Amino acid sequence: MRFPLSLTRSMTFYMLRKKLFGSSLKKFPLVLMLEPLHACNLHCSGCGRIREYAETVNKQLTLKECLDSVTECGAPVVSICGGEPLLYPEIMELTDQTLRLGKHIYLCTNGQLLTNKLNDFIQLSQQNRRVKKQLYWNVHLDGMKTTHDAIVEKSGAFEKAVEGITVAKKAGFYVYTNTTLYKKTEIAELVELGQLLKNIDIDGMMIAPGYGYEMVGDESFFLTRDEIHRKFQMIRKMLDGFRITATPIYFDFLCGERFLPCAAWANPTRNILGWKSPCYLITDKHYPTYRELLEQTDWSRIGHGHDPRCEHCMMHCGFEPAAVLFGNKFRDLIRLAKWQFN
């Protein structure tokens, strides 16, 4: 299966409940992007967090604030990100309590601390059986050694991340990777990376285009919409034998074969300053509550053709949920089912 059965079952029943029985809010979340801190041990070329949140980089959400946000939002999946979440002092308690709330966790890490921290998670798994069933490591890899180390601006970062991935898989954890495509990304190198990860027997490989928003600095580093289409048309052919986690509907969108509206509201971001509006990357305002984020953000003005800042954005955080929510034709459902069980 592409994703664990427990995750698929949980998400399916959650969406059915929302669609069949309705909601006081017409929009509902699928994944909470929870950023307990923005501090990081790397300085990646394509990351805007360390620039946008420079004034609050030494601040953190409390454990209570994190757990209250998980409950307030209600999404079945929590992506714990940042910053580097393994730097968060209460990461073990946050993981434990979030899983005990019945949530699934994507723990997004650059992998530099994974080997050292893994024993803590192994010990936690002996107390909480959900750890190895509903916790999924998501390790950032932007290419092979030379490319990845250049992008994260640290020599040896690639080897450290691959070591962490290998150790986590051997310990029985689910492990996925996250690769961002840039203008200079070579498809042949992605194939090489895919083969390396296939040999380690990772559970899935997410590949998505980067987005040159204001806070990243040099926007020429990123792909235009037309360049994204061409890259992913090649990727579809050359990486067909690998376990790519992008849904076929989202892949159609990336290849320029269908339209999807942006559903940034389905992946809300909660960080130190509040609920980030309108999306994971663009910031117009931070709201004190999740409900205010949904009700006071003008979602009709977000996305390609509505906001010039969105012209070249095809990020998974806005369009992957749209693929699930709006790809509801019978043919799309059959494709999703085949893809999941392939």
The answer to whether residue 4 scores a pLDDT higher than 70 is yes
Q: Say which amino acid occupies 52.
A: E
Tell the CATH topology of 5-341. Answer: TIM Barrel (3.20.20)
Look at the pTM and tell me if it is higher than 0.85: yes
The answer to whether residue 268 scores a pLDDT higher than 80 is yes
pLDDT tier, 25 (very low <50, low <70, confident <90, very high otherwise): low
pLDDT in tens, 187-232: 999 999 999 999 999 999 999 998 876 555 556 778 999 999 999 9
The answer to whether residue 13 scores a pLDDT higher than 60 is yes
Backbone angles phi, psi at 223, to 5 degrees: -85, 145
Contact 42, 285 (CB under 8 A): no
Instruction: Write down the pLDDT at residue 128.
Output: 97
Instruction: Write down the pLDDT at residue 67.
Output: 98
Rounded to whole angstroms, the Cα distance separating 327 from 79 reads 23
Mean pLDDT of 122-128: 97
Compute the C-alpha angle 263/321/184, nearest 5°: 90
Mean pLDDT of 175-192: 94
- Write the DSSP string, 15-48: HHHHHHH--SSS---SEEEE-SB---S---TT--
Domain parsing of the chain, residue ranges: 5-341
Share of the chain above pLDDT 70, in %: 96
Kindly list the strands in the beta sheet with 31-34, ordered across the sheet, starting from the edge strand earlier in the chain: 204-209, 174-181, 135-140, 104-109, 77-80, 31-34, 269-271, 274-278, 283-287
Mean pLDDT of 157-175: 98
Rounded to whole angstroms, the Cα distance separating 78 from 60 reads 17
> 278: cis peptide before it, omega within 30°?
yes
Instruction: Write down the pLDDT at residue 22.
Output: 63
CA dist 276 → 104, 282, 283 (Å): 22, 8, 6
Instruction: Write down the pLDDT at residue 232.
Output: 95
Burial class (CB in 10 A: 0-12, 13-18, 19+), 8: middle
Contact 135, 121 (CB under 8 A): yes
